[in-house]
Structure 1
Amino acid sequence: MTSGSSKLLPFTKMHATGSDAIVLNCLKKIPQNPQHLARKLCHRNTGIGGNQLLLLLKSKNCDFGVKVYNADGSEAQVCGNALRCIARYVREEKLTPKKELLLETGAGPRQVKISSKLIEVDMDEPRMKGKEIPVNLSGRIVNRPLKIDTKDFRITCLSLGTPHCVVFQEAIDTFPVTRFGPLFENHSVFPQRVNISFVNVIGKKEIHTRVWERGVGETAGCSSAASAALVASVLNGFADRSVTVHMPGGKIEVDWNAKDNHIILRGPAEKIFTGEFLLP
């Protein structure tokens, strides 16, 4: 029972390699002020709790549209985890019979393929010039020096619709991600902030990554960051173009196609629970 001024908001809680998201079916109505709603719903103590709020939308040119809002209310133009969650959601809710979908994002359309266990996402081509990422540095940003606090790092940067910075580190299990993550994210060299991946290359086909996600914090898994980690590993000569990326929330298979330059990732997405949230 609700009061006359309150209403119940149906939602589905999902996760992709441990990174949780709240999905709202907005095919009929789009909520007002989604930035504020994201901050409210994603709050771990007073809301549902999640890294992101995902809005499923109608699209004129694609099968569906997707809007992604981080826990702090900022909008992400595209997110591999979000696309996998949405793809799994529309199939389980029987909103489409298709196993191949075209999803409209803020960074352009993205193709997804749905199987019983994994979702495959075409993340398009990486952009690697400083002004395209954007980074306040010229040319390609590969193995460039950057001082954070009192520590010297070497950074490799690229965009997959959102800006990414990759740092190669040994012993990343004990690396202080929560200390350096926000310092990287808010550094003046990144005008739109940045997602930062701390990467340990295990071998030519295997890498280990911890991610500090822009607008969220450290996450158990980030598909875009896994893709960025692969590209950076290839550019620095550390890995082949097909790798398994291990993250705290699980693993993702990522390929960087040498012919069309597209990045293809494959990973799971699962429903956790459904419910209704009481809005004032």
Structure 2
Amino acid sequence: MGKINFVKMHGLGNDFILIDCLNQELTEPSQFAIKYCNRRFGIGADQLLLLYPSKIADFKMRIFNADGSEVEMCGNGIRCFAKYIWDRKLTDKEILEVETLAGIIKPRKIGELVQVDMGEPEFSPSKIPVDIEGEKAFDLILEISGWHARINCISMGNPHAVIFLDEEPKYFAVTKYGPLIENHPIFPKKTNVEFAYVKNSHEITMRVWERGAGETLACGTGACATAVAAMVKGLTEKKVTVHLLGGDLLIEWAEDGHIYMTGPAEEVFEGTVKVPQIG
């Protein structure tokens, strides 16, 4: 029996267990995520974030969902990850390079907020991935339990299916349709699902069903994907505020083709757990 130190953090209520693996080793992170992300029997979190050294960047981030699956990227997670690094003075850089399964992501300190260069959106169906032909997977009609959902698929390092509604998503049956779309066979790696309403050319309201985690209070990559879909369809300008259940994110599609996400990150508490196997 050994001890693992952790920090509980959140970005707009999308919450994380962050473990610094620079000086401690966590074995079987998938099983750890399943056990300790549980809100009744564990610490409680949407995802587990692991901090490692990197040979190609300043640091490396691994991300595990509450169901134990490892994922490519997490927008709210990387803001928390960056805040942890800056708060512990692990570097004096104000722009970090973080290795992820989605490539090198670059968070930047903007006062009390964190801005993240999320890179360029990917529209190619084979790279999202979504099993259809063509150059773009927009305005696809999926029949889901009798509802004909019009989806727009984008990758922000991880797959997203964005659905624009005719009204605010406050009362929409996210927990009914979210898992059905997430697990639809058209998505070989499953997908995150966004239910969005365009309020005006500068504001979007959104709820999200996250792959492997269920409905969360916020999703950074989901906010980016939703904003991009709205911009491509001519529904908004290139700089929008996305209102999520946990708060707001500012999303900008800049002239360099990259998506920039700005929002908060908060540390909640530190703790220690006993685990049966550590390195």
- Same topology, TM > 0.5: yes
> TM-score if structure 1 supplies the norm length?
0.96
Give, in angstroms, the shift of residue 146 of structure 1.
1.2
**Residue type matched to 1:7 in 2?**
G
Q: Distance in 1 between matches of 2:193 and 2:16?
A: 20
Within a 5 Å distance, the mapping from 1:73-152 to structure 2 comes to 73-139=68-134, 140-152=136-148
Say whether 1:267 aligns with 2:266.
Answer: no
Matched, 1:237 2:244: no
How far did 1:89 drift? 0.3
Structure 1: 5+ residue runs without aligned partners? 1-5
Which residue pairs with 2:21 in the alignment? 26
- Provide the rounded CA distance (Å) in 1 between the counterparts of 2:189 and 2:43: 27
In the alignment, is residue 58 of structure 1 matched against residue 28 of structure 2? no
Q: Is the 8 A contact 2:80 2:265 kept in 1?
A: yes
In 1, the alpha carbon distance for the partners of 2:25 and 2:71 equals 17
Q: How well do the aligned residues superpose, as a CA RMSD in angstroms?
A: 0.9
Pick from 59, 64, 69 the counterpart of residue 69 of structure 1.
Answer: 64
In structure 2, what is the Cα distance between the partners aligned to 1:202 and 1:273?
36
Contact 1:158 1:228 (C-alpha < 8 Å) held by counterparts: yes
2:176 corresponding residue in structure 1: 179
Say which of 163, 185, 202 aligns to 2:199: 202
Q: How does 1:236-255 map to 2 (within 5 A)?
A: 236-255=233-252
Identity %: 43
Partner residue, 1:3 = none
2:275 paired with 1:279: yes
With the length of structure 2 as denominator, give the TM-score of the two structures.
Answer: 0.96
**Partner SS, residue 82 of structure 1:** helix
* Pairwise CA distance, 1:153: 1.2
Which amino acid in 2 is paired with 1:202?
Answer: K
- CA distance in 2 between counterparts of 1:30 and 1:157 reads 37
In the TM superposition, residue 62 of structure 1 has moved relative to its aligned partner by 0.9
For residue 153 of structure 2, what is the aligned residue in structure 1? 157
Contact 2:35 2:41 in 1 (8 A): yes
**Runs of 4+ with deviation above 2 angstroms:** none
Partner of 1:227: 224
The aligned length equals 274
